[in-house]
Chain A
């Protein structure tokens, strides 16, 4: 980043190849939210769960996004919301990538009955509409953000398993793998040293794009009442409070824009990454 700032003064500045508008723009939005999440406790205008003024105040100089049904400051609650959404999204994507890629790589490289078993699980899991599966899992584990996160891992891992398997299957056909096998490398060495390093770019692109989708689904589950419970300042939960009072538009405005900004940013970031990592797929 400092590179950008220093060189923009010089008239000969040439943007580095990776610095496309979607990538930088999307990255900046995500980065800004991370900073907000890490520091908001020390500068938020009000406490997110305490009374901050009269109830149902429209936006004003004091409360930029107004107050909700309990007189809490909507702006502060929106800013605090990222402290719930981001850790969950990181957890869900992290677990889904680790589980999915491990199983997908095994399925693709080992093949045989193991491949069959793993992929049938993938097929069955992907046969559910994501939100219904997530709802069923959360309902059976009991409502709560943690259980919603587990439900989303269950929804998401098969996507990465399928992706990784396809990657491994295509990379193992290449000549350098054949050469490695011919020169006597062990199977695990071939997989780890010669195949996996070439498999990551679509995984990274997908994980980036899915980040926003996880934030969205987590908020949806909370909106339905299966995720965060009051008084947690979680975006979906806040919107569901706003839904009861939909003629008081400001209650849901902050969290809605927050979710939108993150989904858009992660889409742009993913698009930009794909163009950079794999120009042919664009």
Chain B
């Protein structure tokens, strides 16, 4: 009995040593991005997005989320990708930063990935600078290069109309 207990303790300690973070991974056009799971409030399916006139280009509209108005941020507009239509796979990754909330439009939400901190690398120097300021770092998963989004920066974008 005593031995098992001891082993258990050891096991737990090992987990704590190996510090890791969980990310929600999603696709935007043909690239993969991730948001740390603690920043994600929920993931919702999108049916209709109401166009909001006079708003910045990266705000593609607003939705009615159980009676509350939620803005929809389209990273494609920030990163300069072509616009895509909503499909059955489209989802909104609802993120928050302080009081500010928005739904990030994902063409597909992949899965939750656990990544040890050591695997996270600084942003590639080759990423164009207009995109680089929204990326915190990156990691490889199943041959995919995944960029970690800087949520504050994305939600802070207030761009000319």
Q: Do A and B bind each other?
A: no
Which residue numbers of A lie inside 8 Å of B, CB to CB?
none
Which residue numbers of B lie inside 8 Å of A, CB to CB?
none
